[in-house]
């Protein structure tokens, strides 16, 4: 074990030099290795040459250091190092296999000309993301990569891009692992906190007899059964037979999942979203979904007249775990933990895009109210779980997918470097339009991914901003 840890530090130092990285702290959970490096005496053990080579390199690099961390504190790194890859067995069945990780295969640092403008680097970054979305991850090694984009854009001094195959887990699993690498910027010793997921609606209380309680629930149970049957049948039809028509946000190109995507981002103040939510007495998810649906209709109408009246459906993805927040990596990978903590545990809700009629345009909050009514009904019956296995066909037959995650309330840092923003994108899906949402440090950050050269990402972004203004003005006032 000592030799393996010593060699790991040695190879990390070599990799840092090859990549041209500076001001790096190497974390190692072997106290013996960390204590051996600064000592002057020469090690005569079989691994002595490894220690001596590392010591010599550290002497010439004052910006490099090695520190000891407990294995529990380094759980995120251990998880990444053990992420398996999928191999095909002789009978064609694919199984997971654990392997050793070579960081050189997984950490990529693109090299660009120095001294260019932030606008140049930002345009390159979006093109880089588009290429990453098209390039499949090699199946002969663990299905993840980290790309260090060390050039300033218009909004940040640099960017870290983590690319994962969806077979490793869903947004909850993967974001939970990534958040384990972050610390609070204001006080790293305090755990990250997240928005409350509890509804503000108070439950009913009172002196009810058992018979009265049962009688009150009979209509609810009957309605639950009826909605489950109707919604399950409608979802099956939309997953197999009924397809959305071609529109400005849905192409019918063969192999759309293999087409390049264009990306853009937009952010809103969480305080502004909460004001709309409180005025309309709905949820934050209802508000942002209504904004995205109205923005989609505005884009459609701007591209093709009357296309905003076509039959188009959005898929709103939901986490099916009955949890109040994220769990630590150590909790998720604990063999004794709930098996539902890690993996792909999500389902979808069909939400038809309301038509952009004169009435809806004059009262844009109808998009939020319609969204609220549909999501509330469908989320509270069993159809959402019964149809979870039909996700690929359902995405192929619908127009747009909306996926959202909660992020930290406070600003965070990674290795003392402040994180300005968090975004995520989904690529390789059989759709022309994908919208992702994540909250972070008082902002709601939206990522837009669209089929390149078919949808104008900047115009689509502008339509979402316009939809926010329309709904905000209608709900709150100018």
pLDDT in tens, 419-431: 999 999 999 889 9
Q: What b/e readout covers 55-77, taking b as 16+ CB neighbours within 10 angstroms?
A: bebbeeeeebebeeeeeeebbbb
Yes or no: say if 476 and 279 are a contact pair by the CB < 8 Å rule.
yes
Average pLDDT over residues 127-147: 90
Reduce the secondary structure of 312-330 to three states and give it as a string.
CEEEEEEECCCCCCCCCHH
pLDDT of residue 444: 96
Yes or no: say if 474 and 363 are a contact pair by the CB < 8 Å rule.
yes
Average pLDDT over residues 81-105: 68
pLDDT of residue 319: 77
Of residues 164 and 167, the one with the higher pLDDT is: 164
Confidence grade of residue 74 (pLDDT, cut at 50, 70, 90): low
Return d(Cα 236, Cα 243) in angstroms, integer.
11
pLDDT of residue 200: 45
Confidence grade of residue 174 (pLDDT, cut at 50, 70, 90): confident
| Nearest alpha-carbon partner for 348 in 298, 413, 402 | 402
Average pLDDT over residues 191-197: 79
Of residues 285 and 53, the one with the higher pLDDT is: 285
Residue 194, sorted as left (phi over 0), alpha (psi -120 to 50) or beta, turns out to be: beta
- Find residue 24's DSSP bridge partners: 64
> What values do phi and psi take at 416, rounded to 5?
70, 10
- SS3 state at 88: strand
pLDDT of residue 465: 97
Mean per-residue pLDDT over the chain, rounded: 81
Residue in the structure block whose two tokens are 């539902």: 340
pLDDT of residue 172: 81
Which one of 101-110, 203-212, 215-224, 375-384 scores highest in mean pLDDT? 101-110
- Neighbour tally for 128: CB within 10 Å: 18
Q: What b/e readout covers 139-156, taking b as 16+ CB neighbours within 10 angstroms?
A: eebbbbbebebbbebeeb
Could you tell me the two tokens for 440?
């972070």
pLDDT of residue 57: 83
- Find residue 265's DSSP bridge partners: 447
Of residues 370 and 14, the one with the higher pLDDT is: 370
pLDDT in tens, 242-298: 888 999 999 988 788 888 999 999 999 999 999 999 999 999 999 999 999 999 999
Residue 74: HSE in the Cβ half-sphere, 13 Å Cα cutoff: 14
pLDDT of residue 332: 67
- Calculate what percentage of the chain has a pLDDT beyond 70: 74
- Pairing mode, if any, of strands 107-108 and 24-28? unpaired
Confidence grade of residue 209 (pLDDT, cut at 50, 70, 90): very low
pLDDT at residue 215 above 80? no
- In this predicted structure, which of 185-194, 203-212, 351-360, 440-449 has the lowest mean pLDDT? 203-212
pLDDT of residue 203: 39
Residue 68, sorted as left (phi over 0), alpha (psi -120 to 50) or beta, turns out to be: beta
pLDDT at residue 433 above 70? yes
pLDDT of residue 289: 96
């Amino acid at each position: 074990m000592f030799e393996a840890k010593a060699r790991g530090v040695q190879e990390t130092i070599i990799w840092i030099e090859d990549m041209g990285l500076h001001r790096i702290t190497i974390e190692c959970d072997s106290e013996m290795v960390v204590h051996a490096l600064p000592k002057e005496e020469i090690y005569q053990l079989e691994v002595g040459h490894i220690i001596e080579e590392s010591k010599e390199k550290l002497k010439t690099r004052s910006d490099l250091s090695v520190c000891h961390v407990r294995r529990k504190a380094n759980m995120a790194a251990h998880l990444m190092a053990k992420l398996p890859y999928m191999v095909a067995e002789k009978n064609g069945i694919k199984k997971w296999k654990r392997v050793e990780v070579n960081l050189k295969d997984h950490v990529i640092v693109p090299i660009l000309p120095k001294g260019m403008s932030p606008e140049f680097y930002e345009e390159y970054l979006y093109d880089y993301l588009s290429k990453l979305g098209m390039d499949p991850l090699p199946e002969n090694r663990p299905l993840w990569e980290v790309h260090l984009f060390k050039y300033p854009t218009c909004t940040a001094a640099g960017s870290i891009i983590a690319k994962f195959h969806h077979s490793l887990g869903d947004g909850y699993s993967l974001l939970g692992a990534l958040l384990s690498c972050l610390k609070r910027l204001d006080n790293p010793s305090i755990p990250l906190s997240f928005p409350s997921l509890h509804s503000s609606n108070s439950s009913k209380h009172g002196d009810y007899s058992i018979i009265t309680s049962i009688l009150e629930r009979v209509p609810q149970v009957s309605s639950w059964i009826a909605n489950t049957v109707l919604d399950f049948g409608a979802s099956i039809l939309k997953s197999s037979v009924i397809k959305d028509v071609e529109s400005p946000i849905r192409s019918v190109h063969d192999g759309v999942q293999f087409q390049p995507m264009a990306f853009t981002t937009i952010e809103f103040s969480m305080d502004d979203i909460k004001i709309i939510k409180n005025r309309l007495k709905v949820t934050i998810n209802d508000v942002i979904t209504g904004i995205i649906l109205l923005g989609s209709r505005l884009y459609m109408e701007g591209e093709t007249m009357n296309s905003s009246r076509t039959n188009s459906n959005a898929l709103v993805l939901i986490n099916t775990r009955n949890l109040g927040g994220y769990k630590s990596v150590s909790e998720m990978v604990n063999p004794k933990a709930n098996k539902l903590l890690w993996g792909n545990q999500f389902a979808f809700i069909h939400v038809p895009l309301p038509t952009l009629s004169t009435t809806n345009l004059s009262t844009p909050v109808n998009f939020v109210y319609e969204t609220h009514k549909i999501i509330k009904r469908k989320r509270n019956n069993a159809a959402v779980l019964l149809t979870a296995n039909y996700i690929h066909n359902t995405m192929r037959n619908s127009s747009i997918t909306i996926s959202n995650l909660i992020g930290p309330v406070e600003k965070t840092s990674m290795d003392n470097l402040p994180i300005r923003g968090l975004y995520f994108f989904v690529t390789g899906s059989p759709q022309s339009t994908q919208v992702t949402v994540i909250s972070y440090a008082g902002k709601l950050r939206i990522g837009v991914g669209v089929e390149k050269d078919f949808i104008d990402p900047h115009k689509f972004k502008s339509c979402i901003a316009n939809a926010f203004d329309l709904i905000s003005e209608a709900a709150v006032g100018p």
